[in-house]
Amino acid sequence: MRLKANLMLLAASTLCVSLAAFAQDAQPEGGVAGVRSIRGKVTATAPPMFTIKTEEGETWQVKLGPNARVVKGGQRFGGPRGEGRGPRGDNAQRGENDQREPPQAIAITDIHVGDMLIAGGDVDQSAKKVNAVFGSVIDAVTVKKLEADWGVTYVAGKITAIDADNAKITIQGPEGKSATIQADENTSFRKGHENITLADIKAGDTITARGAQKNGAFTPTILVVFDPNARRGPRNPDNAPRNPSNNAPPTNEK
């Protein structure tokens, strides 16, 4: 029954993917030592410099140099990473709706005001600057759709409080949004590829939940806790797109 529910959830919508899920998939596969990421909405462009405003309301400057890898797309449609999937390497539970829009390398001039930019590289917290080695872009139309759907078909953010006795979880979302979600007997809980319970969730965890309004409250069908220690498989450098504005060929170094 849980597998069936997850597959139905995956098929529900290709647009209701949380910004947190997008950001997770935007990280370099396998991770890059010393690389951290910042995401925010683009408020000004002067390539190679971009100004973004984060969900916390901070203003950051992002530099996408000639060697930065910049892509648009590549996020999984139908659910955040780990949702409705089997163990690592098992494709049996990846239904036809668990698919990925192929990432497309773009020029930095294709980044516009209103887009969401996830940038990773040398992060200077004090100066609020990023010398980025990679960037992933979500177009403004998709960003607006995600913002409109928050609290209606999905909720994503950081847990600020848990009322375990009543199965209620309070979430702090982007741009000051907050919501209290009501879990029920049909809610599935996951962390990475593992099934967990409400008792395994704590304040401070970052989550994304899919569901719908029920009896005046948002009730999730599935709630996924993001594991900051999870690592993905190594990237094949032969397939790694590069910033086309640089006109530099992709590296084939092993």
Domains of the chain plus CATH, in order, are 2-139+230-246 (2.40.50.140), 148-225 (2.40.50.320)
3-state secondary structure of 127: coil
Cα separation, 60 vs 57, in Å, equals 10
Nearest C-alpha neighbor of 111 from the set 147, 136, 144, 132 = 136
Identify the CA nearest to 95 among candidates 103, 86, 87, 104.
86
pLDDT value at position 176?
A: 79
Give the C-alpha separation, 238 to 59, whole Å.
35
Tallying the residues shown for the chain, one arrives at: 254
Both ends of the chain: CA-CA distance in Å? 44
Residues 112-143 pLDDT 10s: 999 999 999 999 999 999 999 999 999 999 98
Distance CA 135, CA 35 (A): 12
User: What are the angstrom distances between the C-alpha of 124 and each of 35, 62, 116, 133?
Assistant: 11, 10, 20, 14
Residue 89 or residue 105, greater confidence? 105
Copy the structure tokens of residue 10. 């995956």
Asked if residue 25 has pLDDT above 80, the reply is no
Q: Which of 137-141, 212-216, 232-236 has the highest mean pLDDT?
A: 137-141
Between residues 111 and 216, the one the model is more confident about: 111
pLDDT digits (tens, 9 = 90+) for 170-186: 999 887 788 999 999 99
Beta bridge partners of 36: 121
Task: State percent of the chain over pLDDT 70.
Answer: 65
User: What would the pLDDT profile of 45-95 be if each residue is shown by its tens digit?
Assistant: 999 999 999 988 899 999 999 999 999 975 543 334 333 333 333 333 343
Residue 147 has pLDDT above 50, yes or no: yes
Give the three-state DSSP class for 244: helix
Structure confidence by residue, pLDDT tens digits, 196-211 = 999 999 999 999 999 9
Peptide bond into 48 cis (omega under 30): yes
Integer Cα distance of 220 and 83 in angstroms: 13
What is the average pLDDT across 31-51?
83
Distance CA 218, CA 118 (A): 28
- Alpha helix segments (H runs only) across the chain: 2-12, 19-26, 140-149
More confident residue, 231 or 93: 231
The pLDDT, as a whole number, for residue 55 is 82
Burial class (CB in 10 A: 0-12, 13-18, 19+), 74: middle
